[in-house]
Amino acid sequence: MLIIYHIVVAFQPWGSLLFFITNKDDLAVLWKFMELINIWRIPILFVISGMAVNFAVRRRDLYQLFVDRTYRIFTPLLFGSFFIVPTYILIAQGYYDHDYAYSPTPGHLWFLGHIFLYVLLFSPVFYFYKNRSSTVAYEVISSIVEKPFGVLALFSLPLILESIMVKPESYAGFAIYPIHGLITGGICFCSGFMFMSLKGIFWKGVTDIRWVTLILAFSLYLIRIFEEKDLPSNIVSSALTGLEVACWMLSAFGFGSMYLNRPSKLLDYLTPAVYPLYIVHMPLQYLFSSFIFPLEIPAIFKFALLILATFGGSLLIYEIVKRIKWARPLFGIKI
């Protein structure tokens, strides 16, 4: 989803402002579809990261967790900032005839720094919570989630309040507006940990309301896209955006638990591949863009070619890297 999102940016008239290599003929219509995922594509990563930490604390002590997350999160961030991201910056500099300059930066891996910070800040609290899972707080949360739409209320309320209080100029600008990104990511990260603590209660809750959250999310998306100027106030607009973000994610988890929670050779392969694929896709996208975009073919064909080339090249690199033991940690692959 994120890789396709970045490829679509390369076909927008403003893509070059973000230093993407862009095609001269845009496919602006595709951005309406990207607007659908734009506000929750990053938050759901933080939710899943919180879920992963919940699984990790079940079989590791606090020290082991810090070591594991340093290995899985901080090492790829450090390596990527010095060797992955500068690569595609250099490719773009060459494409646009700019002076070459080596620029270490997190780039598209910025959110890994947020996740690592959340691990450092919240893990002691998570362990305290885990060791006292029958506390009043746990019982209260469980009773709320067991009620109809309880999980929606519990998840959406902090996101709504954050959106109203912070008022980011662009909700999707999680990297551009650091306070907004940090708070939203923290809410989602802690929520993911909490959801996995509830186990079957959470999955039943999101499954029961999956159609309601999907319909509500899509309705709020249409309001955001086509009637945003007619909303009565910024507070209402912010509140609806926070609610929409929660609905999309809960709907994704609800349908995922229904149709993806079963043995699958494809998922067995993609699960360890998705992280390294995301790490390496940007330099490949820039490289293939520099060859594909000058071609005199329709933009939609270039779009399809770039998707195939980026995914294919990323999978090829994954297949190579996973066979090199010393390189695996650099790409977030378990040894």
Q: What is the pLDDT of residue 229?
A: 54
Q: How far, in Å, are 46, 93, 148, 242 from residue 205 at the CA level?
A: 20, 49, 8, 19
User: What is the reported pLDDT for 234?
Assistant: 80
DSSP 69-86: HIIIIIHHHHHIIIIIHH
Instruction: Measure CA 176 to chain center.
Output: 15
Which residues lie closer than 8 Å to 228 by C-beta, 6 or more apart? 237
Three-state SS at 115: helix
Task: Kindly state the tokens that stand for 235.
Answer: 């507070």
pLDDT at 261: 85
Position of tokens 């598209």? 108
Q: Which long-range contacts (CB under 8 A, 24 or more apart) does 29-35 make?
A: 30/303, 32/225, 33/8, 34/5, 34/8, 34/9, 35/221, 35/224, 35/225
User: Which amino acid type is present at position 213?
Assistant: T
User: Whole-number mean pLDDT of the chain?
Assistant: 92
In this structure, what token pair is assigned to residue 85?
């991201």
Give the DSSP H/E element, type plus range, for residue 112. helix 110-130
User: What's the pTM value of the predicted model, to 2 decimals?
Assistant: 0.91
Backbone angles phi, psi at 318, to 5 degrees: -60, -45
Task: Give pLDDT tens digits along the chain (335 positions).
Answer: 889 999 999 999 999 999 999 999 999 899 988 999 999 999 999 999 999 999 988 888 888 999 999 999 999 999 999 999 999 999 999 999 999 999 899 999 999 999 999 999 998 888 877 665 557 777 888 889 899 899 999 999 999 999 999 988 889 999 889 999 999 999 999 999 999 988 889 999 999 999 999 999 999 999 888 865 545 458 888 899 999 999 999 999 999 999 988 888 988 899 899 999 999 999 999 999 999 999 999 999 999 999 999 999 999 999 999 999 999 999 999 87
For 155-179, letters b (16+ CB in 10 Å) and e give bbebbbebbbebebeebbebeebee
Q: What sign does the CA torsion over 184, 188, 189, 194 have?
A: positive
Confidence (pLDDT) at 198: 87
Q: What is the pLDDT of residues 33-43, one digit of tens each?
A: 899 999 999 99
